[in-house]
Amino acid sequence: MKLVNSVYAMCLLFASLAWLAPAAADDSSSIQIGRQTVGLVAGGMLPVRVLHTQSSKLYGVAVHPSWQITLTDPIGESWWSGTIALGAEAAFLGVTEPTGTYGIGFTPKLIYTFSSFGRLKPYIEGGGGPLWTNFDGRIPEQGSDFNFLVWGGVGATYDLTRHWALNAGVRFSHISNSGLDTPNSGLNYLLPFAGVSAKLF
């Protein structure tokens, strides 16, 4: 519970900073093909049990440094107008319950960012890739240390300046070994997160 409260407090802090930040110039004209962004988000893992075979409840912290590049100019002329970006991020998972374990992974990702809301830029994203863990013998649902992390989520960035933005959202994440070993019941968690991003060029 303390971890969850800390994540929510961090989100409130970022929202307060965004409210107090000086107004940035409309940056819609700066959206361009090839724009690269790096970021860092962190949050608390909240367990989600989908199947009756998923008895473990994962609690812990996840940290995701990322990079992305914009592939398109804004598509469409309505509220849903937005850009498509391709990216990649690392995954560092520190599980505290049901026992102390970890995961280190890498996931390519695809992002659609709505560009018609000024400084506020909602987005949807998803990705997946390999995850190296020490789950075998510690987490009963997973019988191997090599797993995959697949996730999807929604969020929003808020431009503080032309280069810096705050970032917050939530993801649904699934871990399994894709049937490469048994057992393979899978693990799920929600990740409310907050962080910062920087536009490089």
CA distance 163 to 176: 37
Between residues 93 and 8, the one the model is more confident about: 93
* Close Cβ partners of 55 (under 8 Å, ≥ 6 residues apart): 49, 140, 141
SS (H, E, C) the chain: CHHHHHHHHHHHHHHHHHHHCCCCCCCHHHCCCCCEEEEEEEEEEEECCCCCCCCCCCEEEEEEEEEEEECCCCECCCCCCEEEEEEEEEEEEEEEECCCEEEEEEEEEEEEEECCCCCEEEEEEEEEEEEEECCCCCCCCECCCEEEEEEEEEEEEEECCCCEEEEEEEEEEEEECCCCCCCECCEEEEEEEEEEEEECC
Is the pLDDT at 5 greater than 90? The verdict is no
- Over the stretch 17-42, which tens digit does the pLDDT of each residue have? 444 444 444 444 455 799 999 999 99
- The whole-model pTM stands at 0.83
Of 20-29, 110-119, 143-152, where does mean pLDDT reach its minimum?
Answer: 20-29
CA distance 36 to 199: 6
CA distance 69 to 201: 10
pLDDT for residue 140: 85
The band of 77, judged by pLDDT with boundaries at 50, 70 and 90, is confident
pLDDT for residue 20: 42
| Length reported for the chain | 201
- Nearest CA among 7, 24, 10, 55 for reference residue 159: 24
The band of 141, judged by pLDDT with boundaries at 50, 70 and 90, is confident
- Nearest CA among 168, 67, 171 for reference residue 120: 168
What is the average pLDDT value for the chain, to the nearest integer?
86
Kindly state the percentage of the chain with pLDDT values over 90. Answer: 61
Structural domains of the chain ordered from first start: 2-160+168-199 (2.40.160.20)
Kindly state the percentage of the chain with pLDDT values over 70. Answer: 85
pLDDT for residue 182: 85
pLDDT for residue 7: 47
- Nearest CA among 88, 126, 91 for reference residue 108: 88
